[in-house]
Chains A and B, each alone.
Chain A
Amino acid sequence: MSRAVYAFEPYNVGRWIIWSLFAMVLLAAPWVFKSNLAHSMLSQMGIAMIACLAYNLLLGQGGMLSFGHAVYTGLGGYLAMHALNAVSAGSLSLPVSLIPLVGGAGGLFFACLLGYVTTRKSGTTFAMITLGMAELVSAMSLMFSEFFGGEAGVSGNRVAGTPFMGINFGPQIQVYYLIALYTFVCVALLFAFTRTPLGRILNAVRDNPERVEFIGYNTQHVRYFAFMIAGFFSGIAGGLGALNFEIVTAEVVGAARSGAYLLFTFLGGATFFFGPIIGAILMILASVLLSELTKAWLLYLGLVFLFMVMYAPGGMASLIMMNLRVASFGHLRRLWVAYVGLGVLAVIALLSAGAWIEMVYHLQLNSALGPTLKFAGMTLDALSVRSWFGAGFVLVTALGLFELARRQYRRDWDEIQVQIEQEIKRREAL
């Protein structure tokens, strides 16, 4: 991809419009998607958005790759759950709606405690330290059973304390709106952070940590403060999670959870502010829906992630922005045919590869059910050569056609980029 992709800045078309739209989407979503499952997923998406945006403060804005983000969301969640139980027991009088802030305080506290030594190093060493910390906390979770609740975790009841105007947070929809409120406020605050001196210096630290020292800033302090701010918001997400699920178990601080934050934040796009929002939505869709659809979902996820890192390291957000840029110069209509064609071929290739994978998984895991399985509306026989050969043939053909189409697309894309550059030069000269 050409370097000029960095030069594109989103148009400042009424920032108010975008934020109002965001608020409206948050408000209206449960009315569009009415099922209980949808409400639960929307709630989880809101929580994930805060967690991923907080994570991206480190990754995308600060250049700090952390493998242990779940430590802070999780510990915040545990603290919030203990506070909730204290409210239920009457020993703490705090409105349930403020419980997430206890989580935030917890996240901030642990980030303060652990962050000092973690941020002393940068780059790969930092990543390894966060990994070590994550494993450490994960291993501890089976040890200190008073705090972590042992294998069963800590559970609570979010219907606690006195209801406020009839809202007791029993029904999922009430919890959703609480989450939506926190999501909106946190997203706004995190966006505001990117426009403050500390936020900008954090970007400078990402770009060139050495130079930052020569303009008067202690790089480690910058990273440490950013770490604490990220910890605060992570804790809020953890607290919201505690309210939503009414239980916190050891997996909230686990390596798998940390890995998921990394994976999906990157997938959504670490180089744009809204990338992690997309990533959060994908995370919930994948873990709730995709995992139901196929047992091979982690494999697909790994593959998608791998290809994303190789071919689109800016994530989905960068793909969207690049195409918006092309559209703003009026060239998008040349590409849509290519996109449709590539899309169709990709789907066919994926389905046939999926057929193979599903057949293997079926043989491995569900062999008791017999060799036939339903896939994409067809019945496949995992033991018959015809199914394997048929899927393989379709796969190879689709891949071949895809490659041909991709090359043509690439030529068109590069041509368009050149034309855009010329147009930019022309405009500058005016």
Chain B
Amino acid sequence: MEFVIISTLNGLSYGLLLFMLSSGLTLIFSMMGVLNFAHASFYMLGAYGGYTLSGLIGFWPALVLAPLITGALGAAFERASLRKVHVYGHVPELLVTFGLSYIVLELVQLIWGRVAVEFQPPALLQGPMFTLIHHPVEGLSWVWGAAGALCTDSSAGAVVCSPFPATRGFVMLTALAMMGSLWWVLARTRTGLIIQAALTHPEMVEALGHNVPRIFMLVFGLGTGLAGLAGVIGGSTFVTEPAMAATVGSLAGAFLASLLIGLIQTYAVAVDASVLDLLEALGMTLSAAARENSIIKLTVSQVAPILPYLLLVLILIFRPKGLLGTREG
């Protein structure tokens, strides 16, 4: 039981991280029609920036500063480079961000090296957020923080303790808080309404006196700043290495499906059932030769790595509107 709870929370935390990343991407795409191929690169910049800054000024200031810097860099890129290719259409915009992803990857490796760095979470977040205790007699209960002495063997038998890491909990909290404020800004403030208008009628908004290019720059900066925030949190919770951009890159397009992806990743790895088991459960019996087939013998856990991509592809094929906003006709 506790396994289900903890696993679900773990999966959700990863999914919410992806979701945070993805919403920045969707924001940029909905507002500007640009699919920011370098979005995961800004995620990486946020992580590495957070790493360096937290070494200098501490984690919590870094948590605020690193996304701001990342956002500023994004806005600067928009101003210097992306703006020039707006006139050529969406494909060149995508290609420009594609080129940027190469450059950022190389620069990151240049500055911080090719090996993963140890981005430690702050003292407050180290250790568990809460622990589920399964006592053989008293059943399931939970405590905040670590359970300590309660986890030792009792007279009734072994006590199973399942901690839930505080870092992951923080990921979830931050993601939810960020989504909430983003929604509030877009739906409730004047700036948000202007941005929404600029989505479908940029010329009209410009005619009304708003500086649409500046709005685009701010939106791009906002999106990349969100990616940077996700990077600081993701980098300290999971791993900070040059490959991190590539790992989440394509999944950033998943948006709402991110949550599903997170859950799948966590659960699929634990399922040892193979295709063979599945077929037999359905009532089919196979010959001895067929049983040896490598595909039949594949277990769900072995197939787990491809499931997120499979899901992404299926969603893109059948329901892309749900992923990429209403821009794509």
Contacts and interface: CB of A to CB of B under 8 A. Distances in A.
Interface stretch (A131-139, A328-336, A339-347, A400-408): A131-139
Nearest to B88: A313
B106 A296 contact: yes
A304 B323 CA distance: 32
A125 B320 contact: yes
Given A302-B100, A302-B103, A65 B306 contact: no
B106 A139 contact: no
B85 A310 contact: yes
A306 B100 CA distance: 7
Given A302-B100, A309-B99, A136 B113 contact: no
Given A136-B309, A144-B295, A364 B110 contact: yes
A266 B85 CA distance: 15
Contact of A309 (B29, B92, B110, B113): B92
B316 A310 contact: no
Contact of B306 (A63, A139, A266, A361): A139
B85 A309 contact: yes
B130 interface: no
Interface string A132-174: 1101100110111110000000000000000000000000000
Contacts of B302: 143
A361 B92 CA distance: 30
Interface string B277-297: 000000000000000001100
B317 A139 contact: no
A351 interface: no
Interface string B296-329: 0010001101100110110011001000100010
A313 B85 CA distance: 9
A117 B314 CA distance: 9
Contacts of A360: 110
B95 A298 contact: no
Nearest to B298: A143
Nearest to A131: B250
A179 to B, nearest CB: 29
- Looking at B33, B84, B88, B306, the one whose CB has the most chain A CB atoms below 10 A away is B306
Given A301-B102, A309-B85, A360-B110, A128 B35 contact: yes
Contact of A139 (B92, B99, B113, B309): B309
Nearest to B105: A298
A195 B107 CA distance: 44
A255 B84 contact: no
Given A124-B35, A135-B309, A139-B309, A302 B91 contact: no
Secondary structure of the A contact surface, majority rule: helix
Interface string A293-304: 000101101110
B99 A298 contact: no
Contact of A310 (B81, B246, B313): B81
Interface string A230-266: 0000000000000000000000000100010011001
B90 interface: yes
Nearest to B93: A309
Given A145-B294, A255-B246, A309-B96, A129 B328 contact: no
A121 interface: yes
Given A120-B317, A121-B317, A128 B253 contact: yes
B106 A124 contact: no
A142 B320 contact: no
Interface in B90-141: 90-92, 94-96, 98-103, 105-107, 109-110, 113
Contacts of B96: 306, 309-310
A191 interface: no
B110 A299 contact: yes
Interface of A: 63, 65, 117-118, 120-121, 123-125, 127-129, 131-133, 135-136, 139-140, 142-146, 255, 259, 262-263, 266, 296, 298-299, 301-303, 305-306, 309-310, 313, 357, 360-361, 364
Interface of B: 29, 33, 35, 81, 84-85, 88, 90-92, 94-96, 98-103, 105-107, 109-110, 113, 246, 250, 253, 294-295, 298, 302-303, 305-306, 309-310, 312-313, 316-317, 320, 324, 328
Given A125-B324, A129-B313, 4 more contacts: A124-B90, A124-B324, A125-B316, A255-B246
